[in-house]
Amino acid sequence: MTASESLSALLDHQRETEALAAIAGRLEWDQETMMPPGAAEQRGEESAAISHVLHARRTDSRIGDWLAAAEGAEMTDAQAAMLRHIRRDFDRTRKVPATLAAEIARVTSVAQGRWAAARAADDFPAFAPVLARIVALRQEEGQALADGGDVYDALLDDYEPEMTATRLDAIFGEMRPRLTTLRERVLDRPEPAGLTGAFDEDRQLAFTRTLAQTFGYDLTRGRLDKSVHPFSSGSGADVRITTRVNPLDPFNCFFSTIHEVGHACYEQGIDPAYALTPLGHGVSMGVHESQSRIYENQLGRSRAFAGWMFDRMRDSFGDIGIDDADTFYAVVNRVQRDFIRTESDELQYNLHIMLRFDLERALISGDLAAADLEGAWNERFRADFGYDVPRPSLGCLQDVHWSVGLFGYFPTYSLGNVYAGCLHKALRRDIPDLDDHLARGETAPATSWLRDRVQRHGGLYRPAEVIERACGEAPTAGPLLDYIEAKFGALYDL
Amino acid sequence: MTASESLSALLDHQRETEALAAIAGRLEWDQETMMPPGAAEQRGEESAAISHVLHARRTDSRIGDWLAAAEGAEMTDAQAAMLRHIRRDFDRTRKVPATLAAEIARVTSVAQGRWAAARAADDFPAFAPVLARIVALRQEEGQALADGGDVYDALLDDYEPEMTATRLDAIFGEMRPRLTTLRERVLDRPEPAGLTGAFDEDRQLAFTRTLAQTFGYDLTRGRLDKSVHPFSSGSGADVRITTRVNPLDPFNCFFSTIHEVGHACYEQGIDPAYALTPLGHGVSMGVHESQSRIYENQLGRSRAFAGWMFDRMRDSFGDIGIDDADTFYAVVNRVQRDFIRTESDELQYNLHIMLRFDLERALISGDLAAADLEGAWNERFRADFGYDVPRPSLGCLQDVHWSVGLFGYFPTYSLGNVYAGCLHKALRRDIPDLDDHLARGETAPATSWLRDRVQRHGGLYRPAEVIERACGEAPTAGPLLDYIEAKFGALYDL
């Protein structure tokens, strides 16, 4: 085979793998939205079968041969980027022994149920041995991946390629004192009132469709369904989102939808020429989260957009118990004493993440035993939030992530916020009259800018490079912190 | 490997193939119910990828080795039946050259669109060359499968194992004169009035759910959605059905749902121990159709059940423009002059099928050129139905089947009716008070009998054997014809 034939063979193989991975993703979507409850056990076997096929394709030794043989081939920048992704994934997948990968899959599939039971019973000791086993397996995997380097970094690299804990330390080190200080000052102020009354579920769903389309989500290449936890799923021409509806809390439904629309628009915005290639997905969890966060927060919770949304909600629901747009803006940005990450506001959210980041690093390094997690969590929570965690379901058992083996994932949420801060600063610089548009419900100037600067590139550039190219400078935490301090300072008359 | 190890390896391989086939089936369900319209092209590539994986697994040469090595192994009757299915499928799949299979897939995927366009334009000559190409490819495939035997039989065998055109000729030869005679007599009588008015779509959907549950469809292992054409999909613990709703024609919705429920209950009724094995599916198209037909017609359109349904419809919809249960029974069994197979009644349906069976045999044998199909169709239609086909969309272009390469499929519909006739005779013999139950909307005595006699066996026995064991005698057309003559003789005062 010539170099160019090897390149073709490699990309053909990869394309079929991508198509099969898309099917596996759709199967997960089905499981969360459509699957009848009695089908769960059978579905487990189906999922294992397609995972097995994908693993075999991704570790196929011909990939190594093709990669070597393709080196001399003439190729476009996009093809070179594709090969970079393929080599990276191939190397990573091959480093992990199949028996270890299978054991991780087995243990985590059982562990999720054990975690849910422990959380329901508020019984951390019941979960601690399971967690210890997961940590041990992921340590082993990290060692296999790290080649003598940092084990945590090797795990992090799966979600945020080329990011390191040391760099995150620097970023988070700047954020933590400024956020805890601001948090204390805000919580000294009187708390704004919340929403009262019940909001019809069908009208909420109709309103979410309006919001999704307002932010540019293309429903001819997607769909909106209900699920227990909102998520976005798929790439290219089939990117689906879900939401959940609570009659007492329409904002949860609306802002989680805008959040998922941000993820979905990233996928929908990628150059169609990259579909079913390694470039046809969001490039990292952090960059993905930057899109969902800027849609949800910097745009969706802005004063200008809140005014438009306030009017539309009154059109749809009548009297909502809020009298003016300023109050509405305050309500959707309310900072409260709470324990739950997923219900947190822009100010406190990153404190939740840093807590998890430090604890999971300590677990992986061995400095913290799984059995001691609850105590460590509660101590750190008290330090950063100022009050005690009453029970583990409001503390270290609140998130599913560790039970399914996700270590190195949490920090990408805050990294996404940092990236969103940088993008927002550049966006405001480039579109000075953005608020005039947002006040009319026009998101297109912002979303087009994001599509052009970030989304369309898919996996073409490295994660931090995408943000730097979009903003014209390397990402730092400064813009996010400045934005948060200005916004909440004004909201709370500090 | 010992014989018993080979048996295990073979069954493990098969199990994973079954799981992947279940995924491919779910993907088709998604395509017809949930897929956003813009995703069609990408989905084509995804479907091709999973088909490719399945084909590679099904032609894996290790299957032949395992089959040979497993011969001496001790095995259960069920395992022996599994091996029979595996050997049969392996032999068939290996006989068809990969290039031919790929060409058939390519041509038929394009042909469906060409057929739809020709039907919309009522232009048979535009479709004739496409049809000629499909016939030529299927002839070639049939020759490869037939090993010198009958080519049509080789194609038929894909849908109805071990059935032959000669046996069908004997069955249909008995049916055609009795049905055409009865048809002429019925259509001489005054036509009963039909349904008038519009029926709310949401109420229709709610009513179909009631009907589905009345017939024993388990919604915890299934679901009911809308699609353009109703279908049933899946096996084991995840068997889904669809329906369609037309405000002017609720009976189409209701009886097509009962029909699909028959298919779905067959799949749901199979012994769970057979799930994800070759025994975990309905054994043939004919036996499958026997279940859908007996649910829809011999049970659903019986006088006793019609009485119950009449009351329930008035509960749900108020005045439906029909005053009594006898009239309701006449309306749901109305025989009309029409052209369309899928809208036909119990009496005329099989005449539609026999026409197609004779014409497709002539196409495959080469006695009929594709270009001459329209003339041959119209001539035969006039002979059997007594009036002329005005345009090909009401004639030879009405069904999708041939455009997607299905030759040998049509006769299984009538075979299903014949089997349903036999099962119904045995059912009435074993449950003398069946009508008392049906009049109260209790289908369980009938559906439990069918589950016990037919459904639970899945693929354990050969198709005709399943029916013979259930009924205590070999299947013939007599019971169906007796039933139809008695029913429509009474309805039309003959």
Q: For B439-479, what is each residue's pLDDT tens digit?
A: 999 999 999 999 999 999 999 999 999 999 999 999 999 99
Calculate helix-pair angle for A77-95, A61-70, nearest 10 degrees. 150
Of B491, B461, B470, nearest to B420 by C-alpha is B470
User: For residues B195 and B245, is the Cβ–Cβ distance under 8 A?
Assistant: no
Identity of the residue numbered A100: L
Q: What is the pLDDT of residue B71?
A: 87
Distance CA(B39)–CA(B30), nearest Å, equals: 11
* B430 contact partners, CB below 8 Å, separation of at least 6: B449
Other CB atoms within a 10 A radius of the CB of residue B227 amount to 16
CATH code for the structural domain at A108-494? 1.10.1370.30
B195 touching A (Cβ < 8 Å):
no
Q: What is the pLDDT of residue A192?
A: 81
ipTM for this prediction: 0.93
Distance CA(A133)–CA(A107), nearest Å, equals: 8
Of B397, B381, B399, nearest to B389 by C-alpha is B381
Of A149, A151, A139, A158, nearest to A93 by C-alpha is A158
Tell me if A263 is assigned to a ligand binding site: yes
- What integer best gives the mean pLDDT of chain A? 96
Alpha helices in A34-60 (DSSP H): 40-58
User: For residues A249 and A284, is the Cβ–Cβ distance under 8 A?
Assistant: no
User: For residues B199 and B247, is the Cβ–Cβ distance under 8 A?
Assistant: yes
Class of the CATH domain delimited by B150-494: mainly alpha
Residue that has been written with the tokens 């292992």 in this structure? B221
Other CB atoms within a 10 A radius of the CB of residue B76 amount to 8
Average confidence (pLDDT) over A25-32: 96
Answer whether B50 sits within 8 Å of A16, measured CB to CB: no
Q: What percent of chain A is modeled with pLDDT above 90?
A: 95
Element (H, E) at B224: strand B224-226
Distance CA(A248)–CA(A196), nearest Å, equals: 7
DSSP 3-state of B443: coil
What residues does A216 pair with on adjacent strands? none
User: For residues A481 and A488, is the Cβ–Cβ distance under 8 A?
Assistant: no
Of A341, A347, A337, A335, nearest to A387 by C-alpha is A337
Element (H, E) at B444: helix B444-453
User: Measuring CA to CA, how many Å separate B262 from each of A39, A182, B212, B283?
Assistant: 19, 65, 9, 14
A273 touching B (Cβ < 8 Å):
no
Tokens of A289: 């989260």
Q: In what order do the strands lie in the sheet with B232-233?
A: B224-226, B240-243, B232-233
Q: How far is CA A417 from the centre of its chain?
A: 10
CATH 1.10.1370.30 domain span(s) along chain B: 150-494
Beta-strand ranges (E) seen in B133-203 are none
> Based on the number of CB atoms within 10 Å of its own CB, is B477 exposed (0-12), middle (13-18) or buried (19 or more)?
buried
Identity of the residue numbered B329: Y
Mutate to test the interface with B, among A20, A42, A217, A242 (most CBs of B within 10 A): A42
User: Measuring CA to CA, how many Å separate A194 from each of A204, A320, A321, A341?
Assistant: 18, 11, 9, 19
Distance CA(A23)–CA(A14), nearest Å, equals: 14
Chain A residues whose CB is inside 8 A of the B223 CB are 34, 36
Chain B residues whose CB is inside 8 A of the A275 CB are 42
Could you report the average pLDDT of every consecutive run of 10 residues in chain B (494 residues)? Answer: 95 98 96 94 92 95 97 94 97 92 89 94 97 98 96 97 97 97 94 87 96 98 95 97 95 97 98 98 98 98 98 95 95 95 96 98 98 98 96 97 97 98 98 98 98 98 97 97 98 93
> pLDDT by residue (tens digit) across A247-266?
999 999 999 999 999 999 99
Of the residues A141, A160, A260, A267, only one is catalytic, namely A260
Beta-strand ranges (E) seen in A181-330 are 224-226, 232-233, 240-243
Q: What is the pLDDT of residue B16?
A: 97
* B339 contact partners, CB below 8 Å, separation of at least 6: B381, B389, B394, B395, B398
> pLDDT by residue (tens digit) across B291-346?
999 999 999 999 999 999 999 999 999 999 999 999 999 999 999 999 999 999 99
Q: What percent of chain A is modeled with pLDDT above 70?
A: 100
SS3 assignment for A424-477: HHHHHHHCCCHHHHHHCCCCHHHHHHHHHHCHHHCCCCCHHHHHHHHHCCCCCC
DSSP β-ladder status, B224-226 and B240-243:
parallel
- The nearest alpha carbon in chain A to B221 belongs to A38
Q: Could you say which DSSP state residue A97 is in? A: -
Q: How far is B30 from chain A (nearest CA, A)?
A: 9
Residue that has been written with the tokens 């049939």 in this structure? B142
- Residue B476 φ/ψ, nearest 5 degrees: -140, 170
User: Measuring CA to CA, how many Å separate B38 from each of A195, A215, B32, B198, B344?
Assistant: 38, 19, 13, 32, 34
B49 touching A (Cβ < 8 Å):
yes
Average confidence (pLDDT) over A352-375: 98
Which of A36, A221, A223 shows the shortest C-beta gap to B221?
A: A36
- The nearest alpha carbon in chain A to B223 belongs to A36
Chain B residues whose CB is inside 8 A of the A237 CB are 36, 38-39, 41-42
Residue that has been written with the tokens 């959907």 in this structure? B205
Average confidence (pLDDT) over A82-89: 97
Distance CA(B414)–CA(B467), nearest Å, equals: 15
Q: What is the pLDDT of residue B194?
A: 82
Distance CA(B493)–CA(B490), nearest Å, equals: 5
Which of A22, A37, A237 shows the shortest C-beta gap to B220?
A: A37
Q: What is the pLDDT of residue A196?
A: 84
Distance CA(A209)–CA(A199), nearest Å, equals: 16
Mutate to test the interface with A, among B12, B23, B55, B277 (most CBs of A within 10 A): B23
Q: What is the pLDDT of residue B109?
A: 83
Distance CA(A463)–CA(A469), nearest Å, equals: 10
Q: Count contacts between A and B (CB, < 8 Å).
A: 102
Which of A36, A41, A45 shows the shortest C-beta gap to B219?
A: A36
- Residue A365 φ/ψ, nearest 5 degrees: -75, -15
Chain A residues whose CB is inside 8 A of the B41 CB are 237
Q: What is the pLDDT of residue B298?
A: 98
Element (H, E) at B233: strand B232-233
Q: What is the pLDDT of residue B271?
A: 98
Chain A residues whose CB is inside 8 A of the B55 CB are none
* A86 pLDDT above the threshold of 90: yes
Q: What is the pLDDT of residue A110?
A: 87
Distance CA(A203)–CA(A209), nearest Å, equals: 10
Chain B residues whose CB is inside 8 A of the A50 CB are 19-20, 23
Mutate to test the interface with B, among A26, A43, A274 (most CBs of B within 10 A): A26
A46 touching B (Cβ < 8 Å):
yes
Distance CA(A255)–CA(A425), nearest Å, equals: 21
* A191 pLDDT above the threshold of 90: no
Tell me if B13 is assigned to a ligand binding site: no
Tokens of A327: 């109050």
CA atoms within 13 A on the CB side of A466: 32
Other CB atoms within a 10 A radius of the CB of residue A300 amount to 25
Of B72, B58, B61, B79, nearest to B1 by C-alpha is B72
Task: Return the C-alpha torsion angle B258, B259, B264, B268, nearest 10.
Answer: 70
Distance CA(A244)–CA(A248), nearest Å, equals: 12
Q: What is the pLDDT of residue A323?
A: 92
Answer whether A49 sits within 8 Å of B236, measured CB to CB: no
CA A29, A30, A35 angle in degrees (round to 5)?
A: 145
Tokens of A331: 């309500």
A223 touching B (Cβ < 8 Å):
yes
CA atoms within 13 A on the CB side of A169: 8
CA atoms within 13 A on the CB side of B50: 30
Q: Could you say which DSSP state residue B243 is in? A: E
Residues of B recognised as catalytic: 260
Tell me if B41 is assigned to a ligand binding site: no
Q: What is the pLDDT of residue B342?
A: 93
DSSP β-ladder status, A240-243 and A224-226:
parallel
Answer whether B38 sits within 8 Å of A221, measured CB to CB: yes
Tokens of A72: 């001399």
Distance CA(B140)–CA(B143), nearest Å, equals: 5
Of A107, A3, A12, nearest to A60 by C-alpha is A12
Calculate helix-pair angle for B410-430, B463-471, nearest 10 degrees. 20
What residues does A241 pair with on adjacent strands? A224, A232
Distance CA(A305)–CA(A447), nearest Å, equals: 14
Q: What is the pLDDT of residue A71?
A: 87
* A1 pLDDT above the threshold of 90: no
Q: What is the pLDDT of residue B307?
A: 98
Tokens of A80: 């070179």
Q: What is the pLDDT of residue B29?
A: 97
Q: What is the pLDDT of residue A194?
A: 82
Chain A residues whose CB is inside 8 A of the B221 CB are 36, 38-39
Beta-strand ranges (E) seen in A205-346 are 224-226, 232-233, 240-243
Q: What is the pLDDT of residue A450?
A: 98
B21 touching A (Cβ < 8 Å):
no
Q: What is the pLDDT of residue B344?
A: 95
